[in-house]
A and B are shown apart, each in its own frame.
Chain A
Amino acid sequence: MIRMQTSHGVIEIELETDKAPETSANFLQYVKDGFYDGTIFHRVIDGFMIQGGGLEPGMKEKQTRSPINNEANNGLKNERGTLAMARTQDPHSATAQFFINIADNKFLNHSSPTIDGWGYCVFGRVVKGMDIVDAIKGVATTTKGYHQDVPVDDVVIEKVEVID
């Protein structure tokens, strides 16, 4: 189990190590390296998702490890409360950034092994603290440079750790 301490409260996450082994292992490695500590949720869209884990306050991007394979064809769906990997247009470009779905986002699911159909890989779900996620989704947002939907006040991921 993963315990994520944010500036808004604690979120507990169960990883899908069986269905998304590479993605879970990748996430765990970033957790163990302390990579996520001090990063922010930098993209918050009410009715959609909250995304973070790659930028520090001031919109500074952190150096990540290499991208991983997209395991979105594992049958897991982007339902409310699930965690999935963020990425660029290239299906196999996820590194550290992840998002938490706050709605059932069917269109993010895998439909075919093509650029448009790969979808976004679900690798975990929130088991406790969905009220914290809902509090974060409601914060005021603005545009900062090239980034849209950035919280006006930093929503900080203070510490992420593995608990029993």
Chain B
Amino acid sequence: MTTLFISDLHLSQDRHDTTELFIRFLQSIAPGAKALYILGDLFEVWLGDDMILPDYRTPIAALKKLSEKGTPVYVMYGNRDFLMQQGFEEVSGATIIHEPHILDLYGTRTLLLHGDTLCTDDVAYQKFRTMVRNPQWQSEMLAKSPQERLAMAKKLREISKTETAQKANDIMDVNQDAVEAVMREQHVWQLIHGHTHRPAEHTFELDGKTARRIVLADWYTSGSYLSCDQNGFQSTVLN
């Protein structure tokens, strides 16, 4: 049995191809897996469990079917869909997991993160993250009318787009000190995350042992998943 990891699908009404690819993945590859982990940004935006966008209904139903068939699905918040709550769990059959999440992966203690907390050089983003992850900000947001929330999301997205365009490339990647700090704090030598859209497997020395950091690919141009079993990792591209 294998354990599957994906992230950064950014499902939205503008990306029907990705949605179709994701549904095919859920129907043809994921069944039979020991578990499926979605490490953040499954959705481009999530405005509250009470206003699930029409385009999300089919993938959510496919997720539900997968878990009903016996493959548990675990979903971590990304920097876009952090307003998912119990209502999402109910319709999707998935379980929300919170970072830092520790997993015993075939005998290796492994840390799962979305990855945005590692980009500490992007000070403006970290400030934004602190704001939107504040429970008070979230409950105020969720108390707004659907129209207000849509307008708010649009505004935030536009700010993000402008800022991203202005940012130097390297501050958008992880900070190695932040990586080492969280790995030490969690006592792991293996880390899997997404967010940076820079798929790779990095190895480095951490306190005398070889540490491994696996970065998942996004689903912008093609789909991709990481599978793991007793023999190790394999990354596969979907077309």
- Name A's B-contacting residues (CB within 8 A): 45, 47-48, 89, 106-108, 116, 143, 145-146, 148-149
| A47: chain B residues within 8 A (beta carbon) | 187
B207 touches A148 (CB 8 A): no
B177 touches A107 (CB 8 A): no
- B238 close to A (CB within 8 Å): no
Interface 1/0 per residue, B196-210 and A, CB below 8 Å: 000000000001000
| A89: chain B residues within 8 A (beta carbon) | 181
| B181: chain A residues within 8 A (beta carbon) | 89, 116
What's the least CB distance linking A109 to chain B, in Å? 12
Interface 1/0 per residue, B82-121 and A, CB below 8 Å: 0000000000000001101110000000000000000000
- B184 close to A (CB within 8 Å): yes
- B230 close to A (CB within 8 Å): no
What's the least CB distance linking A136 to chain B, in Å? 16
With the chains together, A107 CA to B102 CA distance in Å? 20
| B186: chain A residues within 8 A (beta carbon) | 148
What's the least CB distance linking B94 to chain A, in Å? 15
Chain B residues 168 to 220 lying within 8 A of chain A, measured CB to CB, are 177, 181, 184, 186-187, 207
With the chains together, A47 CA to B181 CA distance in Å? 17
Q: A48-B187, A148-B186 are known contacts. Are A107 and B207 too (CB-CB below 8 A)?
A: yes
B181, closest chain A residue (CB): A116
Q: A106-B207, A107-B207 are known contacts. Are A148 and B187 too (CB-CB below 8 A)?
A: no
Nearest 5 A/B pairs, CB to CB: A48-B187, A148-B102, A146-B98, A45-B187, A107-B184
B101 touches A143 (CB 8 A): yes
B184 touches A148 (CB 8 A): no
| A145: chain B residues within 8 A (beta carbon) | 98
With the chains together, A149 CA to B97 CA distance in Å? 14
Sample of 9 A–B contacts (CB below 8 Å):
A47-B187, A89-B181, A106-B207, A116-B177, A116-B181, A143-B101, A146-B98, A148-B100, A148-B186
With the chains together, A149 CA to B111 CA distance in Å? 12
What's the least CB distance linking B168 to chain A, in Å? 22
What's the least CB distance linking B190 to chain A, in Å? 14
B102 touches A143 (CB 8 A): yes
A148 touches B177 (CB 8 A): no
With the chains together, A89 CA to B100 CA distance in Å? 14
Interface centre among A45, A106, A108 (most CB of B within 10 A): A45
With the chains together, A143 CA to B207 CA distance in Å? 26
Interface centre among B102, B184, B187, B207 (most CB of A within 10 A): B187
What's the least CB distance linking B114 to chain A, in Å? 14
B208, closest chain A residue (CB): A106
What's the least CB distance linking A112 to chain B, in Å? 12
| A48: chain B residues within 8 A (beta carbon) | 187
Excluding A47-B187, A143-B102, 12 further A-B contacts by CB distance (< 8 Å) are A45-B187, A48-B187, A89-B181, A106-B207, A107-B184, A107-B207, A116-B181, A143-B97, A148-B101, A148-B102, A148-B186, A149-B102
With the chains together, A116 CA to B177 CA distance in Å? 8
What's the least CB distance linking A70 to chain B, in Å? 15
| B102: chain A residues within 8 A (beta carbon) | 143, 148-149
With the chains together, A47 CA to B109 CA distance in Å? 12
| B187: chain A residues within 8 A (beta carbon) | 45, 47-48
With the chains together, A118 CA to B238 CA distance in Å? 45
| B101: chain A residues within 8 A (beta carbon) | 143, 148
